Amino acid sequence: MPFTEVADRIWVRRVPSYDVNLTVVGGERGLVVVDTLATAAEAGAAIAAIGDLRAGRVVAVVNTHDHFDHVLGNATFRERYDDPPVHATEEAAARTDPAAPPADRTFSSAAVIDLGDRQLELVHPGRGHTAGDLVVRVPDADVLLAGDLVEESAPPSLGADSWPLEWPQTLDLVLGLLTPDSVVVPGHGGTVDRRFVEQQCDDLRAVAETIRDVATRGVPEAEALASATWPFPAEALHHAVARGYAQVPPARRQLPLA
């Protein structure tokens, strides 16, 4: 699991467990680690590999959201590097397992980490994979770390805490941060480009529009998956349908015309 340098001083370590990515961004003031993996052992192996880069010390950690495979290495990084600050959205920090430990530098909309010769822009573009997703933009390198708002190795994870009706609008805002040449690092899988994000946004929009359609037509939730065509396999959409139905106003009963 070597690091791959995807742009100037931006290294990605793709870990087989959950096919999840840990990213390191370097600057003159040190290194920022984005997402810390699922276990202390995985985090420890990543720390050893960071040492092999000989690019400096970790001075900050970022959690793109609160799921265990992105945060449970926080404690290991804090122990190794003398308690660097951990950044996340307020919502993600509030939902992070206390054993992680949760982020201690939180924000609601946007924040910046200054590494001297470059800045990292942390942006909460809206709800999607979770309520507290953030993306990390490195403007000078034209790189965006998308967390699980974008996934390459599997369909987007529409879990029990996802927001399927809002996710497309959230990705619209993410697309506004990209150029035609941007490199996008997803939460899981290989790096992608703007076109991939556009396609995933279109697919998620189709999911949202289909949920609204079947729900407002009065199709029972239990019959929704069988009653329409979807861009993703049915097994990936059970939570999405339940979450979407909970957010769509109940269909109004129509009186028959005289």
DSSP 35: -
Q: At what angle do helices 194-216 and 167-175 cross, to 10 degrees?
A: 160
Task: Give the pLDDT confidence score for residue 250 in this predicted structure.
Answer: 65
Digit-by-digit pLDDT tens for the chain (258 residues) are 799 999 999 999 999 999 999 999 999 999 999 999 999 999 999 999 999 999 999 999 999 999 999 999 999 999 999 999 999 999 999 999 998 999 999 999 999 999 999 999 999 999 999 999 999 999 999 999 999 999 999 999 999 999 999 999 999 999 999 999 999 999 999 999 999 999 999 999 999 999 999 999 999 999 999 999 999 999 999 999 999 999 887 654 344 444
CB 168 within 8 Å of CB 130: no
CB 110 within 8 Å of CB 60: no
Half-sphere exposure of 61 (CA within 13 A, CB side): 31
Q: Which CATH architecture fits 4-247?
A: 4-Layer Sandwich (3.60)
Task: Give the pLDDT confidence score for residue 1 in this predicted structure.
Answer: 79
C-alpha span between 134 and 82 (Å, rounded): 25
Task: Give the pLDDT confidence score for residue 254 in this predicted structure.
Answer: 45
Distance of CA 134 to the CA centre of its chain: 6
What's the pTM value of the predicted model, to 2 decimals?
0.95
